[in-house]
Amino acid sequence: MQNVALLYYIVVLIKDLLMKSDDSKPLFTLSVAAEIMGVHPRTLMIYENEGLVVPARTKTNRRRYSQKDIKKLQFIRYLTNKKGVNLAGVAAILKLLSLAEKNRFDLQKPTFPDFTETSIV
């Protein structure tokens, strides 16, 4: 029961931090990001090795994930779990979306209309 109370307290703190911070500030450790995503930490390391997400690093070389990284991870999980896309396909999709954004293509029509960002906490 003590662990549940501690976890609840952490969730409340994270929500408070998210309300006050910008999307790109690295806040979450590997284990916390994995817990938020509901995956094993090794899964996030694989995504990093594949170049799908690049978390910030501390001075001691520990990973820190931002809220923006978490949103990207949610999209990666959506593509792999709901659409059956492999990691190479995910990399290609992310690259194309990045190019479209850089070149300011009009993306008025949703690219993935059935994807909705889920609440982080």
Q: Which domains does the chain have, with CATH numbers?
A: 23-121 (1.10.1660.10)
Please give the Cα distance from 50 to 31 (Å, whole number). Answer: 19
User: How much of the chain exceeds pLDDT 90, in percent?
Assistant: 57
Is residue 119 predicted with pLDDT exceeding 50?
no
Q: Are 47 and 73 in contact (CB under 8 A)?
A: yes
pLDDT score of 120: 44
59-68: per-residue pLDDT in tens?
Answer: 999 999 999 9
> Taking residues 71-95, what's their average pLDDT?
95
- The residue with greater pLDDT, 40 or 11, is 40
Side-chain half-sphere CA neighbours of 32 within 13 A: 20
Conformation bin of residue 6: beta by default, left when phi > 0, alpha when psi is -120 to 50: alpha
pTM of the model: 0.70
pLDDT score of 121: 39
